[in-house]
Amino acid sequence: MPKIIFSAPFLFYTPGYLNIEQKNMDYGKEFKNYAIKHQGISSTYYDSILTSMYPVGLTPNIIEERQMNAVAMDVFSRLMMDRIIFLGTGINDQVANIVQAQLLFLASTDASKDIQIYINSPGGSVYAGLGIYDTMQFISPDVATICTGMAASMGAVLLCAGEKGKRSGLTHSRVMIHQPMGGAQGQASDIEITAREILKLKSELYDIIAKHSGQSIEKVNEDSDRDYWMKAEEAQAYGMIDEILVREKA
């Protein structure tokens, strides 16, 4: 299978309501158990991927005070308690496995509450990204998307695929769309097969962007012929996001 890439060259804590059961749940531990038992992800594989996504030396631990004790956990596990997923890296199969498992886990804990995905990604594998996209569309909870920094390429596809009215970006965030790129080698027939697959993926990606942005497929096709960068205001006008997040000072 050829590798087809769709890519380009802080942290927020949002407090939310937690019931007693959720307060007493170690989301990091529970999610790891869910990923291993229900998603077929091995313990060693899980640890290696989490370390690559969130380097241990750079990931702070926090103390969560509870009724009878205090629990130390990494900050990303604490964010999961507020149903926040942080996609802050390139998208590959390993990253997609973890993000999809997080989505399914949060959907299983409460199918009625929104899930937020904070995106700061240059994009990556089309196949891996489409796996995340399909999972976002499949689960019952609404998935809100927030762009911090950059949502480029496959990251932009996931950004605009959030629930309508619940897609946002920070003031200086950037969004970029373009056509997928890939490579092939071998006999001429093999190269033709790969080229046809890339064109199919290109059509699918443009359909997704057009569907969620409200732009015509012709405009998406024209704009994506080369890197098409948008500031937050331009992304909002294009339909990639619905609002720009600005703190209202008292």
Contact 104, 135 (CB under 8 A): yes
Instruction: Spell out the residues 6+ positions from residue 211 whose beta carbon is closer than 8 angstroms to its own.
Output: none
How far is the C-alpha of 225 from the C-alpha of 157, rounded, in Å? Answer: 15
Active site residue 153: yes
Which is the catalytic residue, given 153, 168, 173, 213?
153
Phi, psi of 20 (to 5 degrees): -60, -40
Structure tokens at 181: 């790129």
How far is the C-alpha of 200 from the C-alpha of 29, rounded, in Å? Answer: 40
Which is the catalytic residue, given 7, 125, 168, 178?
178
How far is the C-alpha of 107 from the C-alpha of 103, rounded, in Å? Answer: 6
| Residues labelled as active-site residues | 153, 178
